[in-house]
């Protein structure tokens, strides 16, 4: 185990087992933590790795919460084959195993566990909270709440039919014992998981420190995903189970500005089906606005305040907005 420290926290590289597979994680512990504290498991969005969670994890840890950020199976430093397989129901299991691990840590109060996820992980945490009563509070940021609707509405009718044909052909190859195909995570043209993530002519800036805008800077990131991932995503619909989270508290934080990746109408439809207590906060940012700078600070301040209110019965130690 290796560690690194900041002024207000210590970060430990740790791991745990999920269905017998080693999952890599980072444990963020506030400096001078004292007795057991509330703990939060955080997860990354489509194609990302836990390095993309440094900003959210740091914000929550500096607010006095113990944080566990994870690489899903087959991503980053975690084990698991085939590599880069975005299988959401398996990622729900990884979150649940992460909860078990966090509950065993001496720094954490096992009865005060929350979960946080962004983008596709926002949908994963909704599904996880619906199934696992050990989750006492959940925050979904810019969540993907209906895999089929999400994948379908980001494509033209022709492109959708092309995708379905490609998935059928890929399944037949796999069933014949061949290796599944791989596709780019994002591309302005052709088949990709999120074809509109990168607009035409977009080129990542090597100097951009934001891992969402410039994921190539993350050593363990790979631009290709297993095509079967799209088949699994289409079959994943957290909206169907969101009502099962109640009576545990739910917060959704999402964009009210232009966001062609995390579609507000989808989020609003899912929110209507959720039981009480629930909150939804709309922030006036675009697709990337909650991943960096002022938008990230505002969103994480709201999340920290929510976790403190429901897990600690108090305001956060470091000011939320």
At 192 the pLDDT is 59
Residue 85 covered by a domain: yes
The span from the CA of 213 to the CA of 209, in Å, is 8
Residue 199 covered by a domain: no
Residue 167 covered by a domain: no
CATH number at residue 13: 3.40.50.1820
Q: Where are the beta strands (DSSP E) in 65-122?
A: 66-70, 108-118
CA 75, chain centre distance (Å): 13
Q: How many domains does the chain have?
A: 1
Residue 21 covered by a domain: yes
Residue 283 covered by a domain: yes
Dihedral angle over CA of 246, 68, 186, 214, nearest 10: 140
The span from the CA of 3 to the CA of 6, in Å, is 10
Instruction: Give the single-character DSSP code of 242.
Output: G
Residue by residue, pLDDT tens for the chain (321 residues) are 455 656 689 999 999 999 999 999 999 999 986 789 999 999 998 888 999 999 999 999 999 999 999 999 999 999 999 999 999 999 999 999 999 999 999 999 999 999 999 999 999 999 999 999 999 999 999 999 999 999 888 788 888 888 899 999 999 999 999 999 998 876 655 555 654 334 433 445 566 666 665 666 777 878 789 999 999 999 999 999 999 999 999 999 999 977 777 889 999 999 999 999 999 999 998 877 898 899 999 999 999 999 999 999 865 443 333
The span from the CA of 50 to the CA of 236, in Å, is 22
At 222 the pLDDT is 80
Residue 214 covered by a domain: no
The span from the CA of 255 to the CA of 248, in Å, is 23
CA 193, chain centre distance (Å): 16
Residue 153 covered by a domain: no
Query: Whole domain around residue 138: which residue ranges?
Result: 3-145+236-312
Q: For residue 263, which phi and psi values (nearest 5 degrees)?
A: -75, 125
Residue 287 covered by a domain: yes
């Amino acid at each position: 185990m290796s560690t690194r420290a900041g002024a207000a926290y210590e970060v430990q590289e740790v791991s745990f087992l999920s269905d017998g597979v080693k999952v890599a994680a980072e444990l963020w512990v506030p400096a001078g933590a004292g007795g057991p504290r509330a703990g939060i498991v955080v997860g990354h969005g489509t194609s990302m790795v836990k390095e993309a969670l440094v900003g959210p994890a740091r914000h929550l840890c500096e607010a006095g919460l113990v944080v566990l950020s994870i690489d899903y199976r087959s991503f980053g430093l975690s084990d698991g084959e085939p590599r880069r397989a975005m299988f959401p129901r398996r990622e729900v299991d990884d979150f649940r195993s992460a909860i078990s691990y966090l509950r065993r840590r001496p720094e954490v109060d096992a009865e005060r566990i929350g979960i946080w996820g962004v983008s596709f992980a926002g949908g994963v945490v909704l599904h996880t909270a619906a199934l696992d009563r050990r989750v006492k509070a959940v925050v979904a940021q810019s969540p993907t709440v209906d895999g089929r609707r999400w994948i379908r509405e980001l494509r033209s009718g022709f492109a959708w039919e092309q995708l379905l044909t490609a998935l059928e052909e890929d399944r037949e190859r796999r069933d014949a014992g061949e290796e599944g195909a791989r596709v780019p995570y994002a591309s302005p043209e052709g088949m990709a998981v999120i074809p509109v993530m990168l607009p035409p002519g977009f080129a990542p800036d090597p100097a951009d420190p934001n891992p969402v805008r410039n994921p190539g800077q993350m050593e363990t990131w790979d631009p290709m995903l297993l095509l079967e991932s799209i088949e699994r995503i289409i079959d994943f619909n957290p909206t169907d189970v969101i009502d099962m989270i109640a009576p545990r508290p739910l917060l959704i934080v999402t964009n009210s500005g232009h966001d062609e990746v995390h579609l507000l109408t989808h989020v609003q439809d899912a929110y209507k089906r959720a039981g009480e207590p629930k909150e939804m906060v709309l922030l006036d940012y675009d697709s990337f606005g909650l991943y960096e700078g002022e938008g990230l600070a505002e969103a994480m301040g709201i999340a920290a305040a929510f976790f403190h209110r429901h897990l600690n019965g108090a305001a956060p130690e470091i000011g939320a907005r």
